[in-house]
Structure 1
Amino acid sequence: MEKTGRIKRLDPIVAQRIAAGEVIERPSSVVRELIDNAVDAGATTITVAIENGGLDLISIMDNGSGIAPDDLPLCCESHATSKVASVDDLYHLSTMGFRGEALYSIAACSRVTIASSWHGQSPWSMTVDNGRKEEPVPGGPSTGTKVDVEGLFKFIPARRNFMKRASAEAASCRAVMVEKSLAFPSIEFRLLVDDSLRVHFPVTNRKERVLDALATDKNLVRSETMELTDHAGRFDLYAVCSTPSTFRSDRSHIKVYVNNRPIEDYALVQAVTYGYGEMLPGGSFPYCYLFISVDPELADFNIHPAKREVKLRNKAEIHHQIVEMVRTQVRRTIPRLRGMMQEDHAADVQSDVQPELGASPRHQGERTADTHVASKHVTYGYGSASGYSPAPSSVAEALKNSGKPADFCWFEKARDFLQKSGTSSAVTIKADRTAADATTWIPENASEQDFTYIGQAFSLFLIAEKDGDLYIVDQHAAHERILYDEIVSRKDIQKLMVPLSFDVDGDVDEYLQQNSHLYAEYGIELTRPDERQWEIMTMPALGKPVEKQVVDFISHHCGDMTELDKGLYAIIACHSAIRDGDTLDKMAAEEILRKVFAMAEPRCPHGRTFLVRLSQDELRKSVGRT
């Protein structure tokens, strides 16, 4: 009978190379797997050397326990491992590797030479050339194991042709080594690229290791980072993260480790961002390296070939605990005014954290554009729109014009000031408004203020003494926060006589169709007269000058609706506040300080801390006095 079947058993070498493609995608995959093996061997020093991006050579040497001569032939066999013996062992994993397929896969697509000394005994070595084993021979390092991987994908041109440039592959290997090193600060790591030492992490503690790793991307000073810890039943949390004054525009530096394995889990990354909440500007993210130690029985890593995913039985509990840990402990680093600290937090405030007073990376550009010419100044006095007016000729004149507090009309000042000042030159606002146009605020206990205003520095900072401490306040950010609080507290809605029309692109059009009802909660009624065309019928009674900002925000916003007040209102307040370089008279400065000292948390709407408190002891120590 003639054979008609078309199904055939694959040649073992072909099957090997197909299986290898699932585990070994590029040179960095080899680095990842071999570092895991070195860690499991108890190494305290791991050295990685690569040539031509790892395509020509990847060499990894460690000082671990080594491999017994009798085990060498089994190293490159499929599913051969010393770490798992039964199914039950999968639920009690304490090692980085457990499948027994890493060396098997690597040896299927390269020439691998393994040389090892078992606990200092005579070393032996063995070579597997693209799936074909050679006999073990004496020789190798006197301590630990050395694995050389040569000609990766040499006989798999379809895979090799998809490799990137050598520099890109080397960068990927470096990223993997840095990622692995963060979980094991007690191990010394070295990376050599084409015989040049590129990375060296000495033995240290976990926080220092994170700072060392960040130094290869961005230098974070010690005062910009903090350690968070928490313990809850069957899991522990530890994090090294940035203070709210330091942030990024993406999540690339929020890293999560579970039992020392780096994993990709959006929910846990989201828990970190939830914890920071409004302490960060909208669309900004912290630096955070989160390490979760969980009972192995509650975690399953046998999902992803690279072990990048994990199933956690108590994930909801862990998520909640991360949010609470970050929220409560990060909040304590925000400087608070003496006497206003919450009792349960006062003992934990970190005095060594010095928030950054300069503009955040996100807003440096706009600050630069708003910087005024040194020879010109805007002088604000007491009692104008938004609480500030051109400086009166005397205090008596200011009090005479004050009257009763009028409606909050900061937008009048914003319109006049922004129209006249442009972006780079300063103007002097003339005192040509009537009392009816101004908003003034005379505190009931103005004569009993509990601070002493010292003066203004660099037309940028307000300096005051209070309760034996020295306070330095960023005038722009402080005024911005004052305006923001008053804007969001207003509930007045105005119906526009002429609707504001604007066009949007397809994505925003679809987004608004789904979320226009949510804008109504903020007093913004939207209608859609035509495809990709929208009209604003009502809006908060913030004044005519904000119409452009409202339209610009809505026509480009496709994010979380909770960002509306943080985004739109913060932008309005920012453009309406006094600027760096503006000169304030004593009464205007004191009014800002009164409101600042009444705040529970001195942060601008963008999340940046704008106040530094220096104790008398700190000042004495800084000049060598005891």
Structure 2
Amino acid sequence: MSQKRRVKVLSPEVARKIAAGEVIDRPNAIVRELMDNAVDSGADRIRVEITSGGIEKIRVIDNGRGMDKEDLQNCARPHATSKIASETDLLNLHTLGFRGEALSSMAAVSRLTVTSGGWKMRASVTEDHIMEPTAEYRGTIVQTEGLFENFPARRRFLKRPASEGTLCRSTFEEKTLPRPDIAFSISMDGEEKLSLPAGQTLKQRFVQAMDFFESEDLFYDVKGSDTNSEWNFDLIIGEPSVTRSNRKNIYIYINGRRVTEYSLVQAIEYGTQGCFPNGTHPVACLFVNIDPSLVDFNIHPAKREVRFKDISSLHHGVSSITKDFFKKYTLSLMDEKSQNDTALEFMDTSFAMTQTEEPAYEEHRDTSFIKQYMPPRRSDTRSRFFSKASVEGRITKPNYIQSLAKTAADLPQNAGTDSETFAQTQPEQNAQNKNDGFHFVGITLGTFIIAEKDDILYIIDQHAAHERIIYNQIMADAGQKQELIVPYTVYTDGKADDNYLEALLPKLNEAGFTGKNCGDGKWEFSSVPLRWKGKEADLARDLLDRRINPGDMINAAAASTACRAAVMDGTVLDEKTAEEIARKALELPDPHCPHGRPVYTAITRRQLFSLVKRI
């Protein structure tokens, strides 16, 4: 049996080390806290120096307001801060730091010195801080040495200096992104690693600090704001050629702090749905400025998480504005193409249909979007991108101009292959081919249909083409409802969820969901869209947990249905059916399958001549 132990009060030294471990767990935490303090000081130039991965020494120098002797004597005391005075201040924070734990924690686990205002303070855990006069300096220099020397159990868990140094640099880069107005630099073991000038745009800072191999010209700044002025944002996002296999390169900042907020990552991905095919993800950084009274950062020791009073409006704004951007971006490419004398060319980007496009949108096309969002297209930019992409071992996909979905006629399901019937149809077909410039060539590799039109050779993916044609037919009937014998019941967690569903009701009804608020957090849905096959739990999860736009729910169902109904790779088609698929594929305003894959690739006569060195 275990021996009973008496309850004892820990010594101040042990208690401080335990508390410090919640804030300072490794060197990069020191970089994080000191850079926050430097930014809060009003500095416009901040330098970070790292030695041995930050384990032996970290030094942060800024040219901010600095501190006088009295501030220095108090700055490393537990819970000492100049940024809040009462608990009500926690509800209206305008600074990155506020708890007064950072310097105190550093003093508990390292040798801390702070120089400012003509004085140097050497922090001590067991006695008063030592104050020494020094040369006058504008700003503050903070230095930590020998991290966890007095806490061997914690020091053993640190990684190698090289690994800790990598984490420090990552934290440095993270802290520089939301403040392009400040100049930052970092050196590691005496070697300059990165220097970022002041006065950059958010896009310039993001691309340069993160050192992406793609050109800055492939990124765009998408802006959005709330009609009530409660929030606004800048979304720096790459075009669909800038892809990653995971979500690690989607960053979220709230009032200058990087936070983990899956719902906003989700909102970005909803906004780009259909544009990044085959399970790829965008590269993006969302900078949100929100009324401080609507968020609470005081829920995590390192301030990595945030609690929103109501995130639904921001979530919807990010998703819808991002989706609108890619819609306009695609239409602007159509206008750009129409002004170009050359035919469809291989390009370094791939676009897909945004999932809530409406036929009426084309009438309101705004060509000024090109000037508003897109930098001038330069031929050398694309060649540089291709060259570097080749070095990196990446393959760029062809870009196709897309527009809005429209209804396509049903394809023949049982067309014959009888040679006599085929021969009899040829004169009429040849005449038609001569009139519209279309010529069916044949089928190859069990998957691709070859066709020619207007001196362009098309290689058509039979599954993707057929899938898109069926999808268009289904979407033409979107909004049809099926009545439920027993209504679906959805329960909300509070007034914010009720308000969200109330605002969403018109779109829900348009999509085919008929719902009503029964009070006390209970909602009933008496009908769902004809093509939607979800259950009650799926509806609750999609609407409240995932907050999927109703139109996207219909799109997902239509895409799934079309995929199952379309001819598959390897399916042997008779020539008449293959020709019909090819003809309709080349008439598609949006030549992508619902999941974003291109329906065809194209080679112009000029390009083909170039490939065989024929002038």
Do the structures match in fold with TM over 0.5?
yes
Q: Secondary structure of 2:187's partner? A: strand
Aligned-residue CA RMSD (Å): 4.7
Structure 1 contact 191–198 (Cα < 8 Å) conserved? yes
Structure 1 contact 27–53 (Cα < 8 Å) conserved? yes
Unpaired segments ≥5 residues, structure 1: 118-122, 369-403, 413-430, 466-470, 492-519, 524-559, 579-587, 614-626
1:217-228 mapped onto 2 (5 Å cutoff): 218-228=212-222
Structure 1 contact 126–137 (Cα < 8 Å) conserved? yes
Q: Secondary structure of 1:342's partner? A: helix
Separation of aligned partners in 2, 1:129 and 1:448: 90
Are 1:247 and 2:270 counterparts? no
Partner residue, 2:268: 272
Q: Secondary structure of 2:94's partner? A: coil
Structure 1 contact 38–62 (Cα < 8 Å) conserved? yes
1:101-500 mapped onto 2 (5 Å cutoff): 101-117=101-117, 123-129=118-124, 132-139=127-134, 142-203=137-198, 204-215=200-211, 218-232=212-226, 233=228, 234-335=230-331, 337-338=334-335, 342-350=362-370, 352=374, 406-407=412-413, 449=436, 475-476=459-460, 481-486=464-469
Separation of aligned partners in 1, 2:223 and 2:232: 8
Alpha-carbon offset, residue 272 of structure 1:
0.8
Query: Structure 1 pair 269/366, CA: closer, same or farther in 2 (3 Å)?
Result: closer
Structure 1 contact 107–128 (Cα < 8 Å) conserved? yes
Separation of aligned partners in 1, 2:431 and 2:452: 23
Query: Structure 1 pair 365/38, CA: closer, same or farther in 2 (3 Å)?
Result: closer
Partner residue, 1:26: 26
Q: Secondary structure of 2:232's partner? A: strand
User: Which has the greater radius of gyration?
Assistant: 1
Unpaired segments ≥5 residues, structure 2: 339-358, 397-409, 442-447, 475-529, 534-553, 573-577, 603-615
Structure 1 contact 227–238 (Cα < 8 Å) conserved? yes
Instruction: Tell me the matched-pair count.
Output: 461
Q: Secondary structure of 1:172's partner? A: helix
Query: Structure 1 pair 137/337, CA: closer, same or farther in 2 (3 Å)?
Result: closer
Once the two structures are superposed, what CA deviation does each residue of 1:219-239 show, in whole Å capped at 9, x if it has no partner? 222342111111102110210
Separation of aligned partners in 1, 2:137 and 2:58: 20
Identity %: 32
Structure 2 contact 294–309 (Cα < 8 Å) conserved? yes
Separation of aligned partners in 2, 1:437 and 1:162: 79
Structure 1 contact 272–323 (Cα < 8 Å) conserved? yes
Are 1:607 and 2:601 counterparts? no
Taking structure 1 as the reference length, the TM-score comes to 0.63
Separation of aligned partners in 2, 1:253 and 1:178: 13
Separation of aligned partners in 1, 2:66 and 2:271: 44
Once the two structures are superposed, what CA deviation does each residue of 1:339-394 show, in whole Å capped at 9, x if it has no partner? 99723343354375779899xx9xx99999xxxxxxxxxxxxxxxxxxxxxxxxxx
Once the two structures are superposed, what CA deviation does each residue of 1:255-281 show, in whole Å capped at 9, x if it has no partner? 111111111011111111111112221
Which segment is superposed worse, 135-144 or 267-276?
A: 135-144
Partner residue, 1:88: 88
Given residue 109 of structure 1, which amino acid in structure 2 is its aligned partner? V
Which segment is superposed worse, 74-83 or 137-146?
A: 137-146
Q: Secondary structure of 2:272's partner? A: helix
Separation of aligned partners in 1, 2:472 and 2:584: 19
Q: Secondary structure of 2:281's partner? A: coil
Alpha-carbon offset, residue 407 of structure 1:
2.6
Alpha-carbon offset, residue 187 of structure 1:
0.9
Separation of aligned partners in 2, 1:99 and 1:186: 25
Partner residue, 2:516: none
Query: Structure 1 pair 522/569, CA: closer, same or farther in 2 (3 Å)?
Result: farther
Q: Secondary structure of 2:586's partner? A: helix
Separation of aligned partners in 2, 1:473 and 1:348: 32
Query: Structure 1 pair 489/591, CA: closer, same or farther in 2 (3 Å)?
Result: closer
Once the two structures are superposed, what CA deviation does each residue of 1:533-570 show, in whole Å capped at 9, x if it has no partner? xxxxxxxxxxxxxxxxxxxxxxxxxxx99499579949
Separation of aligned partners in 1, 2:158 and 2:564: 46
Partner residue, 1:384: none
Structure 2 contact 107–123 (Cα < 8 Å) conserved? yes
Separation of aligned partners in 2, 1:134 and 1:111: 11
Q: Secondary structure of 1:292's partner? A: strand
Q: Secondary structure of 1:13's partner? A: helix
Given residue 152 of structure 2, which amino acid in structure 1 is its aligned partner? P
Separation of aligned partners in 2, 1:116 and 1:594: 73
1:22-61 mapped onto 2 (5 Å cutoff): 22-61=22-61
Once the two structures are superposed, what CA deviation does each residue of 1:561-609 show, in whole Å capped at 9, x if it has no partner? 949957994998795699xxxxxxxxx999958743541x343555256
Partner residue, 1:596: 586
